[in-house]
Structure 1
Amino acid sequence: MKDARIFTCSKCDAQYPKWTGRCSECGAWGTIAESQIQKPFLKKKESVVSGAPAQVTRLQDASGAAVERLLATQFPAVKVFAGGLARGSLTLMTGEPGAGKSTLCLQLAHNFSSRFRVLYITSEESVGQVRERASRMGSFGESFLLAESFDLGTILATMRTERPDVVVIDSLQTVTASDIESDAGSIQQIRTVSAQLRETAKRENIAIILIGHVTKDGALAGPKSLEHLVDAVYYLETDTKRPYRLLRSYKNRFGESGKVLVLQLTAKGMIEVANAATIFIQNYESKPGSVITVTLLDDQIFFLEVQALVSKSAFGYAKRTSSGFSRSRLEMLLAIVKKHLHIDTDAYDVYVNIAGGFHVNEPAMDLAVVVALLSSIKETALPGNTVVFGEVGLSGELRIVRDTAMRLAESAKNKFKIVYLPPLEKKVSSALQLKSSNSLSELVAALAW
């Protein structure tokens, strides 16, 4: 064997032939260090193309059993795994500390234990702590098994002995393989542990759910290859100021991805939020500088309040502050307003906020932000039953955005009456008063401001 030098990023596991100060994959500085890999010697007559060919077949002639799915009948499993949890699959449940990952996965285990054999392995908490948390969720039957271990070998042996249908491991970053000389949570440990668990899941036909940590930047802790190794990735997002949680499916080889489930964390676990579209505007009151818009997060509609405060600047350089909305996009919109509506925005300090701590990054917010700015400048409020959405171009033109029909349907469902938006591509039958404009100047004329 021959040692080869390679440089590896400790944050994302990217590899380089020579050292560099900044990782081009994740953008981190000072994370690249030298490591050695063993490279086998090839005999003189050996060749990498000397292997036997694989057996091939036509697609219509291919045979094999369909993927067996474990179907639950209780919430939240019936919503999280709508088509069933596939046997032999490896699912990663990740999110920030305190988001409720362990609580949610314990609920999922409870749901599946009513029909299948479930093994819950804890490596962060003691069995007593898990039992105390589980006691608030109701009774667990004899099909629910609980074990405490952080050693990979012990976990694999337990799985072979108990032969469960579903395994939950809390958490991936605290499980260690004894043959790897590095600390728990390191890239080498996570890569080895996840690869061994994936192999066991496929071989033993067990569905495994892993709980994973994230970094302070919100990225998945561990090598980038982990996301490719697992079959499904769920991210539990949270706002510490509210009890709501957003469960988003980023990847799912056995079902639909791009789904959002709005949950609320209670003493008895997670419950589904009714009428999730309006949870951020429950106390809305119409006032100058405030506008309701409708945004789309994956497949979930949310109505949000866009707040703007515009005041005369006391200094030579006007301030631009935004929360929940891109500051660079705000500056672009101010330049458009100055150019095409002839308003000297350089003379004003501008503050924009998305109420409720929501962060939005889609063009449909443009028109709502502009109208909120104009409302603050003119000190005039829109009617409370009004929704505004659409993209604003650099020439001051208004552009239609994706899923407009869905946004309009949800607006009508939630008793809104008036919608300001760009011109529609085709006529839409709606009970709403649709007030479309081709440009910002047309919109201002329609508003009579």
Structure 2
Amino acid sequence: MNQIPNSLEARDVAFQLHSYTDARKHEEMGPLVIEKGEGIYVEDNSGKRYIEAMAGLWSVAVGFGEKRLVEAAARQMEKLPYYHTFAHRTHGPSVELAEKLVNMAPVPMSKAYFTNSGSEANDTAIKLIWYRSNAMGKPDKKKIISRVRGYHGVTIASASLTGLVNNHRSFDLPIANILHTSSPHYRTMKKDGETEVDFAKRCATELEDLILAEGPDTIAAFFGEPVIGAGGVVLPPEGYWEQIQPILKKYDILFVADEVICGFGRTGNMFGTETYNLQPDIMTLSKQLSSSYLPISALLVNEKVYGPVADESNKIGTFGHGYTASGHPVAAAVALENLKIIEERDLVGHVRDISPTFLKRLNSLQEHPLVIEARGIGLIGAVELAHESVKDTPGVLGGKVNASYLEKGLISRALGDTMAFCPPLIMSETQVNDMFDIAEAGINEVAKGL
């Protein structure tokens, strides 16, 4: 075995494969090692502090270093560090969290099912949908539609739902029976002279045409994020969901609202489903559910979904699906305390209060020569960048701006040439301005070097 230097950076390069990373480039440049966090800030192992403008991965709602969550984990760890929910077993935290989530849901839901990530939640939703179709004597009703630029995870089935090329390339994805309809991004997909309302109608027509071409009796479900997150923070155009939902009802197609990023206050309501008046049959939840202090996710299903699944499990003798850590007691306890904090501190109201400042500063960046679009809602947004000198190398401009941000003490995320902003919900108005001061300075610095 080769001698490895004792630094964390060298050991990381020697032993760890990273997500969403060029592995060979990582061998050359090494990692940024984050040591600790407090509030909206994180600190690296050299002592440099950053505004975490992505809340980790869209997820640390209550900020870093929240002692109540640490204490909730410690209490539950001491009382019951682990138990499962297989074969008629349960425990207090999973029961309480299931009850809490079903009662919180903005539309009638029947049951909660716990998983460990947004990817697993969406993957399980697909299995439930297929199971239900078989239970109803409709074995051909298995195809599922999602959208170009949509993001639903990285497990085999959920990565197939994801409508991003780099999540499919070299993985032999998507799998069969996963279809994609139009991206709802108005600026890039509109036709000349087409209004947002007209564009939304065309998206709905293209969805209906796909359903008819495939055969309505073969389409089981449609997956959609209220606001597309990792696909570039794409907001639905005016009238979009009002056009899409009736088509799903017309052809008896289940609607899955992927609330993994939008849920628990991000859009200015507890759920994106409320912001856009959606009526989903299934909601998938994660990230801000526990502020990602521990891995946990959930599906909420309505009676239309649960009833046939329950009947089929009775016919077969079991619902043959589950994860070792489904409803993990420590993760569930932390999620319950996290939801208490969100409610007690009225963080959803706080998002509504500071959103005007967030959106004003975000939209002001659209005046910059490098910015071709600013878009956002609540406390999530993005600026898309472009410049003639790098038009043939997508992602280079985003990489340059991202590097400038890091040097100046700001962690964003470059989604190609789109810079995303999704800070902890606790961010103050002053901190919003601090964040965008750095964001503007970073874009200015890159612009001067082009």
Instruction: Tell me, yes or no, whether TM beats 0.5.
Output: no
- Length-normalised TM-score, structure 2: 0.28
Q: Mark the structure with the bigger radius of gyration.
A: 1
Q: Which has the higher contact order (CA 8 A, sep 6+)?
A: 2
- Length-normalised TM-score, structure 1: 0.28
